[in-house]
Chains A and B, each alone.
Chain A
Amino acid sequence: MVKKLASISKYLFLCLVLLFVYAPILILVVYSFVDTNTIGKWGEFTWEHYIYLFESEKIMPIVWQTALMALIVAVLSTILGTLGAIGIFYSKRKTSALLSGVSQIPVINAEIVTALSIAVMVSAIGFLSKETYLPLICGLMTLCTPFVVLSVIPKLKQMDNNLYEAALDLGATPTQALFKVVIPQILPGIFSGFLLSVTLSLDDYVITAYTKPSSFDTISTYLYSLNKGGATARIKAAFWALTAIIFLIIVIVVIVANIRAIKAKQES
């Protein structure tokens, strides 16, 4: 009896926390289909908010350019971080400790410090204009690349080092050995580093706001400025629809990834 009560209260606790975590998003999902511009006011079922969102000449371009920016940053961070991780892993102890130490700074630092320091540098040296998008790309890469390194290094540790030596003994050049032996072995780490970079740069507000060109906006910076300036009710409701779509995409990706992982496990 006591045991049963304990297990019930355990699940009750988990459910309460889940309720807290999901309530805001789910309420927006529900209201994105309701013919109203105020949450709490009930109305008829409608697609109106979605139609407004997709016809909006302001929001949709921002959605696409946010996605494009995240993709570019993630690809560059993944390349730089993978090479960096391999280099750090095979360097001498001192070099490797120094590099991974510096690499940790953007991870544990308050993001606003990273953002401000890059903004101050850009303003100090002058020739690197924010309008070139370079500060934005490099700023976000500063945030993402260390996470790629952190995802790849454990895979390098797991790898059998003899494979690389064997490839060299069998006549492969170091470059061939790298691309045909090392990279395939650490691919899962590279992949999770890439996805982490995509989510980090899609999510980012501070670094983006401090390094972006003045006319460029991402979902984060646009919504923040709307919130500060007082958005019209229609645009706010269009963002309910956008939240619902993004949430749906994430749920689908997570489910597909999990089914594939479970299948892969069953096969092996």
Chain B
Amino acid sequence: MKFHFSRKQLCIPYAVFLVCFVLIPMFIIVFYAFTAPVMENGVQVGITFSFDNLVDLFTNPTKLLNMGRSILIGLLTTVICLLIAYPVAYILARSGIRRNAVLLLLFIVPMWVNFVLRVNALKELLSWIGILGASDFWNYFNTVLGMVYDFLPFMILPLYTTLLKIDNSYVEAAKDLGASAPVAFWKVTLPLSYPGIVSGITMVFLPSMTNYVVSTLLGNGKVGIIGSLIEQSFLNSQWNAGSMMALLLLVVMFVSTWLTGGFQNEDAASSRGGNLW
């Protein structure tokens, strides 16, 4: 039989890759999360179905504390990023025609410096100022500062793309019909920029909940988040406990995607600066 080539078949390698490195690992995590090794004289002899990891996740005080911190840090980071990024994106999108693209680049360039190098740079700056590890308050402050510093571009880019697309005549129409500038912004621009806000939040919230590099380096090792717990279970090869925490994050991801009504594909690439090249 002669092999008939068609363009559709080009997705087969990618489909196989996705099954092997996205779907199968996900199923393995679910499997590990609900099983426990059966030990006999310190040797693993089998595995058994178990809810221990789930129960432990919601009863272990350390885990609860770290989850609480993660949510707090994630929320604070997202809100602060939004409050800084929205005006930046708004000013850039509304200013001159060609100049704004160059200005936007200025905000994105630091993102291309290696992430750990950047966190390290901030750490050196903070230790010079003298607030690195100064007290519990400063540990939290520095962690959130580091998260904002790292994830701000992820918020600016999708907001900028959305705000740029908004047709200015809508705002003008609102003003012609008697709306003041703030009202026109509140009733027209803000609702129209909602998709950008949603993708910005998606790109910032989960990473800032889990990025333990920032919290370890800038929180002086005192600000444990859910990412730090996963790191510990990875380092100690406690696959079952680690899988349960990863599963929780997976559920958070799916629920938030579902709640926000899907996800803007193009914004994902743009939030990492994909369309700037």
> Bound complex: CA of A103 vs CA of B6, how far in Å?
21
Verify if A50 is at the interface (C-beta below 8 Å from B).
no
Contact of A147 among B84, B116, B274 (CB under 8 A): B274
Verify if B107 is at the interface (C-beta below 8 Å from A).
yes
25-54 of chain B: CB within 8 A of chain A? 25-26, 28-29, 32
Shortest CB-to-CB span from A249 to chain B, Å, is: 9
Known: A99-B18, A112-B227. A40 touches B84 (CB 8 A): no
138-168 of chain B: CB within 8 A of chain A? 149, 152
Summed over the interface, the residue pairs from A and B with CB atoms below 8 Å come to a total of: 260
Whether A23 pairs with B125 at a CB distance below 8 angstroms is: yes
Verify if B59 is at the interface (C-beta below 8 Å from A).
no
Residue numbers in A under 8 Å from B213 (CB-CB)? 205-206, 224
> Bound complex: CA of A157 vs CA of B109, how far in Å?
29
| Closest residue on chain B to residue A122 by CB atoms | B25
Residue numbers in A under 8 Å from B103 (CB-CB)? 14
Whether B120 pairs with A147 at a CB distance below 8 angstroms is: no
Verify if A158 is at the interface (C-beta below 8 Å from B).
no
Verify if A45 is at the interface (C-beta below 8 Å from B).
no
Shortest CB-to-CB span from A263 to chain B, Å, is: 14
Whether A116 pairs with B21 at a CB distance below 8 angstroms is: no
Whether A224 pairs with B116 at a CB distance below 8 angstroms is: yes
> Bound complex: CA of A238 vs CA of B268, how far in Å?
35
> Bound complex: CA of A114 vs CA of B206, how far in Å?
13
| Closest residue on chain A to residue B32 by CB atoms | A120
Residue numbers in B under 8 Å from A162 (CB-CB)? none
Residue numbers in B under 8 Å from A147 (CB-CB)? 268-269, 272, 274
Residue numbers in B under 8 Å from A100 (CB-CB)? 265
> Bound complex: CA of A90 vs CA of B203, how far in Å?
29
Number of residues of chain B lying within 8 A (CB) of chain A: 85
Residue numbers in B under 8 Å from A247 (CB-CB)? 113
| Closest residue on chain A to residue B84 by CB atoms | A17
Residue numbers in B under 8 Å from A10 (CB-CB)? 91
Verify if B193 is at the interface (C-beta below 8 Å from A).
no
62-121 of chain B: CB within 8 A of chain A? 84, 87-88, 91-92, 102-103, 105-107, 109-110, 112-118, 120-121
Verify if B185 is at the interface (C-beta below 8 Å from A).
no
Most buried by A among B105, B115, B227, B243: B115
25 CB-based A-B contacts, threshold 8 Å = A24-B122, A24-B124, A25-B118, A80-B14, A87-B9, A88-B11, A99-B18, A102-B18, A108-B257, A108-B268, A109-B206, A110-B209, A110-B210, A110-B227, A110-B249, A113-B246, A116-B230, A116-B234, A118-B25, A120-B243, A141-B17, A239-B117, A246-B114, A251-B109, A258-B105
Given contacts A25-B121, A121-B24, 18 further A-B contacts (CB under 8 A): A17-B152, A27-B128, A39-B128, A81-B14, A83-B11, A86-B7, A91-B8, A110-B249, A110-B253, A112-B249, A147-B272, A149-B14, A199-B112, A202-B114, A205-B116, A240-B124, A243-B113, A251-B109
Give A residues with C-beta under 8 Å from B. Answer: 10, 13-14, 17-18, 20-25, 27-28, 39-40, 80-81, 83-84, 86-92, 95, 99-100, 102-114, 116-121, 123-124, 138-139, 141-142, 145-147, 149-151, 153-154, 173-175, 178, 182, 191-193, 195-196, 199-200, 202-206, 210, 219-220, 223-224, 227-228, 236, 239-240, 242-243, 246-247, 250-251, 254, 257-258
